[in-house]
Amino acid sequence: MRAVCFIVWLAIVASAAAAEAPKSFKVGEFSFARPAAWDWVEVTSPMRKAQLKVAGKEGKNADVIVFYFGEGSGGGTKANVDRWLGQFEEGRDKINAKVEEQKANNRTITYVQAEGTYKSGMPGGPTTPQPNTMLLGAILESAQGNVFIRMTGPADLVKGARDDFKKMVEGK
């Protein structure tokens, strides 16, 4: 009986948490609509302004993290692209690295994509190699401070979530 009560309680808590998840959020000057299938996650660092989870198979999820450091902080576009691509064990020529700049809604967006063995962890600290991982990133340029959005996870899951990622980034 206790187990049944506990399961019912967990379902109620999960429903309440899902109901509280914002459908949209603002970071810097930009507003974003959270894709309906993505879960809102409480941020785990003051550097993170939003964090989402794309649920995958067998508990292998993709993380979407939005960073904003304010005007003049966080580094430029090229430095961040290089840092993201440098987080892979393999050389840049072996991770299918793609960098593309485009305009959407009067904003400049630089998309970054790479696939290989991603080394997760804090800069300068220990890393954990994650094979068959894809990084999909976007840098939204602004005079008020760039917004950096990075999705990492199993390559097939990130590829499947790419359209939702771009819609969120571009405000479609």
Q: Which two tokens stand for residue 97?
A: 């690295």
Per-residue model confidence (pLDDT) at position 120 = 87
The mean pLDDT of 51-61, rounded to a whole number, is 93
DSSP code string of 132-148? EEEEEEEEE--TT--EE
pLDDT score of 136 more than 50: yes
Average pLDDT over residues 127-151: 94
Task: Kindly report, residue by residue over 80-133, the tens digit of the pLDDT.
Answer: 999 999 999 998 889 999 999 999 888 899 999 999 999 988 777 888 999 999
Q: Which CATH number fits domain 23-170: 3.40.50.2020, 2.40.30.210, 3.40.50.620, 3.40.1000.10?
A: 3.40.1000.10
**Rounded Cα gap, residues 27 and 81, in angstroms:** 20
Name the residue among 98, 101, 167 with its Cα closest to residue 139: 101
Q: Are 116 and 133 in contact (CB under 8 A)?
A: yes
Give the domain ranges of the chain.
Answer: 23-170
Q: How far is CA 36 from the centre of its chain?
A: 15
How do strand 30-33 and strand 24-27 relate by DSSP bridges?
antiparallel
Please give the Cα distance from 44 to 8 (Å, whole number). Answer: 27
The secondary structure element, H or E, covering residue 98 is: strand 98-104
* Whole-Å CA distances, 19 to 40, 100, 124: 10, 36, 38
